[in-house]
A = this chain, B = another copy of it.
């Protein structure tokens, strides 16, 4: 879409074991990886895709993930690098509701919010093995109440100002901004493809493939609800990238991320 710019909001980093990042294969050992959000500055408005993790939440609930996050790596801090505030963002879309993708949602009570419909139930009634993934409930009064975690909600949070519109299947949420349903890691997981006027599209795998190595080896992360769907989603991403001549960008890949544009630098 002419006029579309994509900014990556660096959100700091976390640590997992190699057996988490590369399911069953590893090798073992700590891997520190980036977390980032995607700001689409579009002729129809500013769309924020995901919102990173909340430092205090991770320290309290998942300290073993060893969060490192500067002030400039919070959502308000990262937006400030672009001369923006949360009030400048009209739409928030979450790829899924794991804690490292919804941590900054609390700054957007005014925004319209979208997700895959399946996530709306999953965060309120997760599988036993998903409880830590869906541990930050500050983004949804409904989910927090369902899980008995209303204490996580900041002042002013209501059912209304944390309501989502649930989507089904693949959706072009704005011209040239495509959500592709890629379940496996989470039941309602969306990957994102953004088209530009004068460069190749970018296909953000999000957590369907943490890294280039994940996609090359079809090795999904150890966090998943349906690993068969997870493999199919990776195969679909490979095909989409080829069919649309898209540049692939990965969610949690330190090596790839070191070459990505962040801060005021952008893709257009």
Contact = CB atoms under 8 A, between A and B. Distances in A.
B228 A228 contact: no
A122 to B, nearest CB: 11
A19 B219 CA distance: 16
Interface string A220-263: 10111111100100000000000000000000000000000000
Contacts of A20: 19, 24
A39 to B, nearest CB: 31
Contact of A129 (B127, B129, B227): B227
Contact of A226 (B17, B219, B223, B226): B226
Contacts of A224: 227
Interface in A6-64: 17, 19-20, 23-24, 26, 28
B17 A28 contact: yes
Nearest to A132: B24
Given A17-B28, A23-B129, A24-B20, A225 B228 contact: yes
A218 interface: yes
Interface in A99-123: none
Contact of A17 (B19, B128, B228): B19
Nearest to A234: B128
